[in-house]
């Protein structure tokens, strides 16, 4: 079983690399941001257009804040944005040259790529699952008899496409039993609660806001101690905001401006959680009430600018991935630091 597990990880990594030839247009919804006007306080007199792949989910919140608060417009930057449900697909799009940057990309995919081609991505900000967030977890049917993750041995687990859902679910379940003793079913995020309701799977690994929507619609409940922060490491780097190295080399000043914009958006989210939740709800076509937590924890991940602690956290996670056979080759986290 261990060999089969390793083989699956290798196959998934190969799929990511094949994105150089494949454009995942069938899973995206493109929209042009109306940011063409130049305010008096624009930081650059030359208009700039950039292509951004962003998450249709909580990971896209910093991007949406930057748009809605006019940060791109203030810098005279026009954004062509394409949304994706899965961060692995989003990462593959940047790798394929179809986008200049990913908000956010997947650390697991970056590890797999960096092990083969060091420095392909440059990361300036992380989104981490912590004990103070309620952004991911394992859900089961509301009326199911499962009381613990340990009860899922031999069961069907619904996960998101790509390495993100694959690695998180394996690492979490691996704390309770050999994670190869479960069946993993790939489901798009927007459909994952429906798969649970239809008994197509016995449990799901879910990320906000689909997590809360499943719970508040009476479909699911969360199993205790089922987050990455509780079972793997705290904080657990779940998302990475960054550029392709090619974009940074070709447009260093633009990259610097955008990194500053996204950092400013992260600061806004921290200082204005209520208005940030409204922005998230408006872009997800959801109500604020449906996204609110009752535990005082944020539905989004903890956003931190890339620093020495971030490098250490990513390196620790990469080492865990390699130790679990989830990636091949050695990863040096300093290779993808944006400076």
Q: In this structure, what CATH number is given to the domain that contains residue 25? A: 3.40.190.10
**Residue 45: predicted pLDDT:** 59
| Whether residue 68 is found in the same domain as residue 179 | no
User: pLDDT digits over 211-228, tens only?
Assistant: 998 999 999 999 999 999
Label residue 75 exposed, middle or buried (CB < 10 Å: 0-12, 13-18, 19+): buried
263 to each of 39, 65, 96, 124, 160, how far by Cα in Å?
21, 11, 25, 9, 27
- Structural domain count, the chain: 2
CA 28 to CA 55: how far, in whole Å? 10
pLDDT at 128 over 80: yes
Q: Which residue would you say has higher pLDDT here, 27 or 81? A: 81
CA 97 to CA 118: how far, in whole Å? 17
101-105/136-141 β-pairing: unpaired
**Residue 18: predicted pLDDT:** 36
| Whether residue 252 is found in the same domain as residue 227 | no
**Are the CB atoms for 16 and 109 separated by under 8 Å?**
yes
| Whether residue 115 is found in the same domain as residue 200 | no
Domain stop point among 206, 231, 256: 231
**Are the CB atoms for 315 and 126 separated by under 8 Å?**
no
| Whether residue 286 is found in the same domain as residue 303 | yes
| Whether residue 41 is found in the same domain as residue 113 | yes
Residue 305 structural domain: 2-130+236-336
**Residue 37: predicted pLDDT:** 32
CA 116 to CA 217: how far, in whole Å? 43
CA 185 to CA 234: how far, in whole Å? 27
| Whether residue 215 is found in the same domain as residue 177 | yes
- Residue 240 banded pLDDT, cuts 50, 70, 90: very high
Among 13-27, 105-119, 167-181, name the one with the lowest average pLDDT: 13-27
User: pLDDT digits over 20-66, tens only?
Assistant: 333 333 333 333 333 333 333 334 558 889 999 999 989 999 999 99
CA 128 to CA 303: how far, in whole Å? 7
Q: For residue 47, give both structure tokens.
A: 């208009």
**Residue 283: predicted pLDDT:** 94
- Residue 285 banded pLDDT, cuts 50, 70, 90: confident
Domain stop point among 196, 231, 266: 231
Estimate to the nearest angstrom the gap between the alpha carbon of 31 and the chain centroid.
20
pLDDT at 93 over 80: yes
| Whether residue 261 is found in the same domain as residue 284 | yes
Domain stop point among 213, 231, 249: 231
The predicted model gives 321-337 an average pLDDT of 88
| Whether residue 123 is found in the same domain as residue 245 | yes
| Whether residue 144 is found in the same domain as residue 214 | yes
| Whether residue 125 is found in the same domain as residue 154 | no
Strand extents, DSSP E, the chain: 28-32, 48-55, 77-84, 101-105, 121-129, 136-141, 156-159, 183-186, 203-207, 220-222, 236-244, 302-305
**Are the CB atoms for 113 and 96 separated by under 8 Å?**
no
| Whether residue 270 is found in the same domain as residue 126 | yes
Q: What is the rounded average pLDDT for all residues in the chain?
A: 85
């Amino acid at each position: 079983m261990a060999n089969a597990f390793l083989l699956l990880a290798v196959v998934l990594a190969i799929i990511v690399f094949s994105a150089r030839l494949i454009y995942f247009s069938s899973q995206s919804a493109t929209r042009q941001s109306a940011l063409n006007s130049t305010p008096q306080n624009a930081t650059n007199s030359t208009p700039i257009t950039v292509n951004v792949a962003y998450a249709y989910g909580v990971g896209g919140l910093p991007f949406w804040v930057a748009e809605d608060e006019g940060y791109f417009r203030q810098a005279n930057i026009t954004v062509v944005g394409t949304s994706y449900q899965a961060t692995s697909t989003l990462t593959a799009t940047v790798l394929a040259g179809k986008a200049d940057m990913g908000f956010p990309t997947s650390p697991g995919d970056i590890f797999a790529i960096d092990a083969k081609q060091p420095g392909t991505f440059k990361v300036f900000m992380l989104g981490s699952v912590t004990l103070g967030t309620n952004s991911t977890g394992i859900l089961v049917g509301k009326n199911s008899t499962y009381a613990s993750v340990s009860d899922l041995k031999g069961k069907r687990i619904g996960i998101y496409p790509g390495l993100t859902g694959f690695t998180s679910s394996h690492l979490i379940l691996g704390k309770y039993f050999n994670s190869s003793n479960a069946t993993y079913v790939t489901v798009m995020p927007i459909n994952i609660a429906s798969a649970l309701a239809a008994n197509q799977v016995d449990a799901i690994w879910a990320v906000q806001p689909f997590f809360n929507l499943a719970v508040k619609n009476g479909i699911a409940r969360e199993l205790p101690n089922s987050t990455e922060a509780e079972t793997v490491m705290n904080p657990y780097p779940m998302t990475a905001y960054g550029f392709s190295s090619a974009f940074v080399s070709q447009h260093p000043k633009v990259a610097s401006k955008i990194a500053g914009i996204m950092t400013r958006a992260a600061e806004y989210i921290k200082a204005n959680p209520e208005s940030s939740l409204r922005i998230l709800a408006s872009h997800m076509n959801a109500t604020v009430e449906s996204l609110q937590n009752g535990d005082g924890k944020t539905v989004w991940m903890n956003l931190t600018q890339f620093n020495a602690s971030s490098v250490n956290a990513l390196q620790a996670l990469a080492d865990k991935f390699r130790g679990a056979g989830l990636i091949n080759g050695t990863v040096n986290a300093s290779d993808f630091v944006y400076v």
